[in-house]
Protein backbone atom coordinates (compact mmCIF):
# COMPACT_ATOMS: atom_id res chain seq x y z
CA UNK A 1 0.00 0.00 0.00
CA UNK A 2 1.38 3.41 -0.99
CA UNK A 3 1.54 6.32 1.42
CA UNK A 4 -0.16 9.56 0.43
CA UNK A 5 1.96 12.56 -0.47
CA UNK A 6 0.85 14.65 2.54
CA UNK A 7 1.69 11.79 4.90
CA UNK A 8 5.10 11.31 3.25
CA UNK A 9 5.82 15.06 3.49
CA UNK A 10 4.77 15.18 7.14
CA UNK A 11 7.01 12.21 7.95
CA UNK A 12 9.92 13.89 6.14
CA UNK A 13 9.48 17.11 8.10
CA UNK A 14 9.29 15.20 11.38
CA UNK A 15 12.53 13.34 10.61
CA UNK A 16 14.24 16.60 9.64
CA UNK A 17 13.13 18.19 12.92
CA UNK A 18 14.55 15.29 14.90
CA UNK A 19 17.84 15.49 13.01
CA UNK A 20 18.16 19.24 13.59
CA UNK A 21 17.55 19.00 17.31
CA UNK A 22 20.35 16.43 17.55
CA UNK A 23 22.82 19.09 16.33
CA UNK A 24 22.59 21.28 19.42
CA UNK A 25 25.00 23.91 20.63
CA UNK A 26 24.36 22.89 24.23
CA UNK A 27 25.53 20.01 26.36
CA UNK A 28 22.55 18.02 27.63
CA UNK A 29 22.65 17.66 31.41
CA UNK A 30 24.22 19.41 34.38
CA UNK A 31 27.64 20.28 35.73
CA UNK A 32 27.83 20.63 39.51
CA UNK A 33 30.78 22.57 40.97
CA UNK A 34 31.62 22.45 44.68
CA UNK A 35 34.14 24.01 46.97
CA UNK A 36 34.89 21.87 50.04
CA UNK A 37 31.49 20.14 49.83
CA UNK A 38 29.41 23.30 49.33
CA UNK A 39 27.68 23.66 45.95
CA UNK A 40 29.03 26.80 44.30
CA UNK A 41 27.42 26.51 40.89
CA UNK A 42 25.08 24.22 38.96
CA UNK A 43 25.00 24.67 35.20
CA UNK A 44 22.16 23.15 33.19
CA UNK A 45 22.61 22.54 29.46
CA UNK A 46 25.61 24.89 29.10
CA UNK A 47 26.82 25.98 25.63
CA UNK A 48 29.47 23.63 24.26
CA UNK A 49 31.52 26.42 22.71
CA UNK A 50 33.82 28.74 24.57
CA UNK A 51 35.42 28.92 27.97
CA UNK A 52 33.26 28.84 31.11
CA UNK A 53 34.45 30.48 34.34
CA UNK A 54 33.56 29.27 37.78
CA UNK A 55 32.55 32.08 40.19
CA UNK A 56 35.34 30.99 42.56
CA UNK A 57 37.98 28.27 42.85
CA UNK A 58 36.46 24.78 42.72
CA UNK A 59 37.61 21.64 44.53
CA UNK A 60 35.13 19.11 43.10
CA UNK A 61 33.27 18.82 39.76
CA UNK A 62 30.61 16.30 38.75
CA UNK A 63 29.82 16.02 35.05
CA UNK A 64 26.24 14.89 34.41
CA UNK A 65 26.34 16.01 30.75
CA UNK A 66 26.72 13.92 27.61
CA UNK A 67 30.07 15.62 26.83
CA UNK A 68 33.58 15.40 28.25
CA UNK A 69 35.15 18.39 30.03
CA UNK A 70 38.59 19.88 30.38
CA UNK A 71 39.21 21.59 33.74
CA UNK A 72 41.76 24.40 34.11
CA UNK A 73 43.40 26.18 37.03
CA UNK A 74 43.39 29.42 35.01
CA UNK A 75 40.33 31.63 34.53
CA UNK A 76 40.62 31.65 30.71
CA UNK A 77 40.91 27.92 29.86
CA UNK A 78 44.62 28.13 29.14
CA UNK A 79 47.32 25.80 30.36
CA UNK A 80 50.05 27.57 32.37
CA UNK A 81 53.69 26.86 31.56
CA UNK A 82 54.59 23.43 32.86
CA UNK A 83 50.94 22.73 33.70
CA UNK A 84 48.14 20.67 32.21
CA UNK A 85 44.38 20.47 32.18
CA UNK A 86 42.34 17.71 33.82
CA UNK A 87 40.03 15.62 31.66
CA UNK A 88 36.62 14.75 33.08
CA UNK A 89 34.67 12.16 31.12
CA UNK A 90 30.92 11.85 30.66
CA UNK A 91 29.13 11.02 33.91
CA UNK A 92 32.34 11.26 35.94
CA UNK A 93 33.33 13.12 39.08
CA UNK A 94 36.74 14.47 40.04
CA UNK A 95 38.38 16.16 42.99
CA UNK A 96 41.22 18.62 42.65
CA UNK A 97 44.70 17.65 43.75
CA UNK A 98 45.82 20.42 46.09
CA UNK A 99 49.30 20.60 44.52
CA UNK A 100 47.84 21.78 41.19
CA UNK A 101 45.54 24.45 42.63
CA UNK A 102 41.79 24.99 42.37
CA UNK A 103 39.88 24.81 39.10
CA UNK A 104 38.76 28.18 37.80
CA UNK A 105 37.38 27.37 34.34
CA UNK A 106 36.38 24.59 31.97
CA UNK A 107 35.57 23.94 28.34
CA UNK A 108 34.19 20.98 26.46
CA UNK A 109 36.61 18.52 24.89
CA UNK A 110 36.25 18.13 21.14
CA UNK A 111 34.62 14.92 19.96
pLDDT tens series, the chain, 111 aa:
565 666 555 555 554 444 444 556 888 999 999 999 899 999 999 999 999 999 999 999 999 999 999 999 999 999 988 888 999 999 888 887 767 789 999 999 987
Domain ranges of the chain: 25-108
- Which of these, 107, 100, 41, 46, lies nearest to 76 by C-alpha position? 107
Q: List helix spans (H) across the chain.
A: 5-22
Do 107 and 70 form a contact (C-beta atoms < 8 A)? yes
> What does the CA dihedral 54, 21, 89, 106 come to, rounded to 10 degrees?
-20
Classify domain 25-108 at the CATH topology level: Gamma-B Crystallin; domain 1 (2.60.20)
Distinct helix (H) and strand (E) counts, the chain: 1, 8
pLDDT of residue 54: 97
- pTM score > 0.85 for this model? no
d(CA 32, CA 14): 34
Do 71 and 109 form a contact (C-beta atoms < 8 A)? no
pLDDT of residue 6: 63
Give the pairing type, strands 60-63 and 86-88.
Answer: unpaired
pLDDT of residue 10: 55
Amino acid sequence: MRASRPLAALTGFALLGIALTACQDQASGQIVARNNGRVVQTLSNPPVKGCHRFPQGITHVTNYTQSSLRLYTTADCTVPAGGAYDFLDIGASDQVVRATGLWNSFDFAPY
